[in-house]
Amino acid sequence: MLLGFTVTNFRSIKEKQTLSLLKTTKNELENNFTTVTLSTGKTLDVLNSAVIYGANASGKSNLVLALGTMLSIIKDSFSYQLNKGVKNIEPFLLSKESASQPTEFELDLIDDGVRYVYGFSATQEKIVDEWLYQYPKGSPQNLIDRQSTNQWGTMNGLKGKKKVWQGSTKANSLFLSTAVQLNSESLSTIFSAIDKVKNVSGELLQGFGFTCHQANKSTEGAEEILTFMKAADIGIEGFFVLEEKVDAEKFSDEVKKILEKAGEDLLKFRRFEFEVETQHISDDGSVVSFDFKDQESEGTQKLFRLAGPWLDVLANGYCLVMDELHNSLHPKLVAYLVSMFHNLEINKHGAQLIFVTHETSLLNQDTFKKDQVWFCEKEGNATELFSLVDFKVRKGVDNLESAYLSGRYGAVPYLKQ
């Protein structure tokens, strides 16, 4: 489970900002958090969801993008070409000092009862620092200690071919990514734990293929997706997925150029293309088929794309991070999706949801605890992230939605006549 994410000096974020998933308030709404037992025997209460509000251009999306950037560098940096830099690092540019400083990311998470803290700092050219601690017995064990790109600490907690892994780590690649590719067993465990954080905001179109694949993989998977769709009351009674394998020679010229520029062998690439037909019941009781992409609404299409990732996250206890959840969806449908993470019969494995929205009808004391609600706003030119916990809220009395829209908590636009 994710305990927290911290970012410094990324796009509109200048100073260190931390989103925490640790429960800090009383035990109301007990389905909204999961009690996790640590390897030390102690327990932590971890929130099952967090929602982020704020005005347009306040930096909400940059917080989600920062997490996505961190995850992509962890996943891909081993394959970066030497001297080609670190992808997607964008420092805060409205300060000369910040523009020349590294961007920093850090994850705090628990997996199989063990707490890990992993982070790194990077410029557009190279990885500067990298660190990893685990807490199997309460005290930190140092697994990665990288400083000034190619300076290494003792790393006493890490077993295996440390010298080989260090020597194989490029200036623009992470040691974690490199060691995992070179078969570090202990770091592979941590890499897999980080991979349980799923940022789908930039990959929602890929969610279409994921949902189609899940539906075709098993009858049970297709039934779960159909149940998910029917629960949303959008009139779909069934669907069919047609799958076609497409070899690289049939890719568009544009895709071929991208792959060739990246030095990839086209012969090893194959992708799947899917077509979906949805079924509706007509006035006379007969079944009518619709072409999914041409005849279904944007909301229905988004819900279908979400279905696969959403159900996968809930089934496996992953953490789902998503920007603009409310787009094309009715407020009641958004509330329904969020409620799945607060339903212990559905969320049996401590799955988590972190999402950005402008849908203020969710903002009430029956849906969220105070520590689940976060706000973004600009202080000067830079993004500030803060929690509803920072404000006095009367339980069962204050209307959170009205208070927020009236500006009591900030993080709203101030419009000029």
Bridge partners (DSSP) of residue 117 are 108, 133
Residue 141 has pLDDT above 80, yes or no: yes
| Identity of the amino acid at 124 | Q
Three-state DSSP at 48 gives coil
The residue extents of the domains of the chain are 1-196+317-417, 201-316
| Identity of the amino acid at 54 | G
Contact yes or no for 125/102 (Cβ under 8 A): no
Give the mean model confidence (pLDDT) for residues 149-161.
Answer: 95
pLDDT at position 327 is: 84
Contact yes or no for 34/348 (Cβ under 8 A): no
Taking only the tens place, the pLDDT of each residue in 166-200 is: 999 999 999 999 999 999 999 999 999 999 999 87
Residue 415 binned pLDDT confidence (cut-offs 50, 70, 90): confident
Share of the chain above pLDDT 70, in %: 91
Taking only the tens place, the pLDDT of each residue in 279-323 is: 999 999 999 999 998 999 988 998 998 999 999 999 999 999 999
pLDDT at position 369 is: 96
Strand order of the β-sheet with 373-379 is 197-199, 319-322, 352-356, 49-54, 373-379, 382-387
Residue 273 has pLDDT above 80, yes or no: no
pLDDT at position 205 is: 46
- Please state the φ and ψ torsions of residue 56, each to the nearest 5 degrees: -60, 140
Higher pLDDT, 35 or 204: 35
Tell me which architecture the domain covering 1-196+317-417 has in CATH.
3-Layer(aba) Sandwich (3.40)
Residue 286 burial class via C-beta count within 10 angstroms: exposed 0-12, middle 13-18, buried 19 and up: exposed
pLDDT at position 27 is: 87
Three-state DSSP at 125 gives coil
pLDDT at position 42 is: 94
Angle of helix 60-76 relative to helix 185-194, nearest 10 degrees, comes to 150
pTM for this model (two decimals): 0.91
| Identity of the amino acid at 17 | Q
Taking only the tens place, the pLDDT of each residue in 337-384 is: 999 999 999 999 999 999 999 999 999 999 999 999 999 999 989 999
State the Cα–Cα distance between residues 106 and 91, nearest whole angstrom. 16
State the Cα–Cα distance between residues 121 and 385, nearest whole angstrom. 20
CA 136, distance to chain mean position in Å, is: 26
Structure tokens at 194: 């980080």
Give the mean model confidence (pLDDT) for residues 101-124.
Answer: 97
Whose CA is closest to 2, among 28, 29, 26, 20?
20
